[in-house]
Structure 1
């Protein structure tokens, strides 16, 4: 169908309620992260009241962390397809109920079960919150600020939890450390109803249950193994059986993810070099940070004799350092680049942790603990604000939730494994220190023994930070933020140089191309088109898809309500479009049409013209084709142009230095008047998949032009 419509209006690119939504989302994020540590200070009183043994008391912490970290990947996938707002609401209400269950626990088993249930709903809430930020803030600089708020709360939540735990334990009851979550979560859920917009990914809703079981049980086995080593020692056969079982289960998880059609964690998300380096650094930072906080809590309460509230307040410099660094560091992301910020922040945290090794048995908060906390907090705050800008850069919109979940997963897994491993090292160091002393050991000697163990734990935390710094330096290649457009001037070649590709006969080339690759390419829409249409939100109307290929874009636009004319020169390509549209139930809205475009062009006007990846090897004036495409845009409509600026190795253009122009060059080349405005112009990098599954990193020039109504 080629008729135009007058109903297409200009929708705002920016959500007017986005900052209110960020406030609601941030409160929910703080609740989840805070609860991971709020129980620490309350645990001694809970242990005494419920009769929990020393061997089992750590499950009050690890049950939450394991359920949270183990199920985050599944939660991220559910979030993408069930709906981000719906998942956010379910997570908040469920978290409130689970908090009440844990708060009224009559025994240790019920407390552990309630904590695990909290972790289950947190695994749904956390990825929903972060992915809502990613899709709500479409402007790169605003998104960096929003991530700054998220980073500040994500990093400071653990320390704030220690303060809240001290206040509630000292002035009310340890159970209020759990009860307090319910009113906050319910208030956030009510506030989200009018402020947060729903969004979801298109596609089949299948979930990788075997993958979720394997990764969760594997992590439980690893943590259980470290815990058993602390109780029975490294010579215990059960310790090594548990650790080996955990590794085998995690290897099996990777094998399942490679073969399943709907993986819990698509390996493309973590195999990207930059993203994988960011995730590895996040895991190591989580291990070092949570382990550090655990033993600082013991040092303050046991060696320095601080009461719960005093111990919580003593963590204020740590919390303030994270918040300040994340807040003031956010504007630096587009200027300095996330890699440099991550590396410098980790280095500062490493120095602060090494400073803590100088702690004394009975004193030293001001000269040792205070400066160590400040340095470590500042460094971690900078790291947290920069992390999402690497981990979520160039991600496919359908993978936003799972990538967001992986950020939190790595931190929670580190938060579960790190303290377990550090506690094992602490117990071993303590046993070695007391081995040469005759029992009963005097209290003064015990304090020196505890400090010896703390120092070993602090050194282990520093090693984790050092490994994180190595991962950032060696694995992450990006120095700038791909989400933030640059205003740097570019070389302006001639129109023929920038808007032409030279080759052989077009029709024969493309027919052979699609016949040869018909079983290797999928029919998924390109990620950039999904992002642009989702964020710019044009009203459904008529659409023209130039060079429709295998039909992914045309079919996806039809599922969004557009009436699509899908144009290609290859009969095989058009047949695949017809078959795919019929399979998706949108055949009545997809109209394949064979046009050469160089000599004949579809007639009429369209509300959206998609010229994404429009290539032709025919020696023609490509600019002329794009000018005709612009002329086909109806008033109020969009013209989308997406091009590879660095060519994938499987392309016939491989090895060529191809330049694609910016918005003003395009306006001049297409002879557009002042009624056209540029909605988007940036050049992100992403991982592209070619025939046969091979991958490569390509840079793309993304331009969206809107014609005035």
Structure 2
């Protein structure tokens, strides 16, 4: 039982807010950990449960797809049923599914457990973010909270590779899942003890039709992209899945415009820079997950690094990510939000372009370490500022939905990006293997993936310049904001270019 319930409108003390933010950030860290911790262990998982090459991709995509497809529903569930309640339920489901994945003896059980993990994560992430934003109203405090959020998100991605490598080498691949189950259980206990109770159920209904439509649409889309790697883009099943995805997404747009309890109500896009933040986050996400997929594979399959050495090789990226997240609010105050986003995206693009020069006879120090630092800095700063865009001006009753939406765009963008880039890398490798040694062919595929990723981010930076000039932060309809204190830069002020 929570010993310090907080009544609606009551603000916890500063030390207690810091403690609660730490617990909520730990929940976000655990969700991100589950995204990347499997990457180093993929060769061992493939051998352990008998996965094919395409099936190996689904160990990552099954989690990312379920996570992304159900985040909107998870965010709305938190708004309607209570965010603390939904967060605790999500952590319990997440821990149970993680344990089941570690005990899996077949590919079917493993992939199913990863889907259920994604379902739990879809409840955790938006509820935790909304609770954190409730603690810190717009201002410098929220900027620092978002910096913490970016740091733990990036650390979860990079730290997962390190932890996965160590656990796989020491105790075997099942422990990458057992460790996540233990972390989720510990966070659950901390949430129950420290996170204050807030308002209970709110009026409203779930948009079951919209949820089912968008979930099926995203499933068809990523399945089609993933299957194209082996079957080819002209395969009937692939074309049918992509056509069904396009049709269902169009139907979802029509449904949402007509339903009073829409899963994604149009009013959400009339506040701040929500639409801009989500669009740019989707593009950033399209290369985010792929980076943590291809980089460990290059280190292990081409450079011959052990799982532990591969994980340790992510430390520079993780350190740069945490540093960038801490610096992001300061950089934004100094040069403006639009310039911050653009510069960060270009820095990450430069790092990925640097990675596109990897060679089959290279080394970690010459091919990986330097660009990892540049990528980590750009990724973290862009993530923090785009998250600020995506929650700017959103009224409290839609905070969970806004958190779910920005996580959805990142996760779904990541799933689509991984599917497309894995298809590209596989095709390049297959073509190169006809006239080059195996390691050279593998490296050619990875180079192609990093090159396209750099191009996507460069285009995203250009798009950010255009969109942030055309849009600006707006107050949500029917709400008011207090005048800005010049000593306290607010998120809306951070969202303006100079």
Q: Same fold by TM-score, threshold 0.5 exceeded? A: yes
Q: Is structure 2 residue 281 aligned with structure 1 residue 282?
A: yes
- 88-97 vs 359-368, which deviates more? 359-368
Q: Is structure 2 residue 357 aligned with structure 1 residue 358?
A: yes
Q: Is the 8 A contact 2:81 2:202 kept in 1?
A: no
Name the structure with the higher strand share.
1
Q: Is the 8 A contact 2:272 2:472 kept in 1?
A: no
Q: Distance in 2 between matches of 1:683 and 1:382?
A: 15
In our comparison, the structure showing a higher alpha carbon Rg is 1
Q: Distance in 2 between matches of 1:419 and 1:209?
A: 28
What are the within-5 Å matches in structure 2 for residues 450-529 of structure 1? 450-477=442-469, 526-528=478-480
Q: Distance in 1 between matches of 2:287 and 2:484?
A: 44
Q: Is structure 2 residue 316 aligned with structure 1 residue 324?
A: no
Q: Distance in 1 between matches of 2:332 and 2:374?
A: 20
Match of 2:413 in 1: 414
Q: Is structure 2 residue 13 aligned with structure 1 residue 21?
A: no
What are the within-5 Å matches in structure 2 for residues 141-540 of structure 1? 141-200=140-199, 203-270=202-269, 274-435=273-434, 437=435, 445-477=437-469, 526-528=478-480
Q: Distance in 2 between matches of 1:472 and 1:462?
A: 15
SS at 1:204's partner residue? coil
What TM-score, normalized to structure 2? 0.91
Shift of the 198–340 alpha-carbon distance from structure 1 to 2, 3 Å rule, reads: farther
Match of 1:668 in 2: none
Match of 1:704 in 2: none
Match of 1:575 in 2: none
Q: Distance in 1 between matches of 2:338 and 2:85?
A: 34
What TM-score, normalized to structure 1? 0.65
SS at 1:358's partner residue? coil
Q: Is the 8 A contact 1:338 1:481 kept in 2?
A: no
SS at 1:198's partner residue? coil
The superposition leaves residues 191-225 of structure 1 with CA deviations (integer Å, 9 ceiling, x where unpaired) of 22342123358852300111111111111111111
SS at 1:40's partner residue? coil
| TM-superposed deviation, 1:235 | 2.3
Q: Distance in 2 between matches of 1:125 and 1:290?
A: 19
| TM-superposed deviation, 1:334 | 3.6
| TM-superposed deviation, 1:431 | 2.3
Q: Distance in 2 between matches of 1:155 and 1:262?
A: 34
The superposition leaves residues 237-283 of structure 1 with CA deviations (integer Å, 9 ceiling, x where unpaired) of 22211111111111111111111111111123246572212111111
Q: Is the 8 A contact 1:103 1:178 kept in 2?
A: yes
Match of 2:94 in 1: 95
Q: Distance in 2 between matches of 1:297 and 1:195?
A: 37
Aligned alpha-carbon RMSD (Å): 2.6
Higher relative contact order (CA 8 A, sep 6+): 2
Match of 1:57 in 2: 56
Q: Is the 8 A contact 2:271 2:477 kept in 1?
A: no
Shift of the 159–233 alpha-carbon distance from structure 1 to 2, 3 Å rule, reads: same
The superposition leaves residues 537-583 of structure 1 with CA deviations (integer Å, 9 ceiling, x where unpaired) of xxxxxxxxxxxxxxxxxxxxxxxxxxxxxxxxxxxxxxxxxxxxxxx
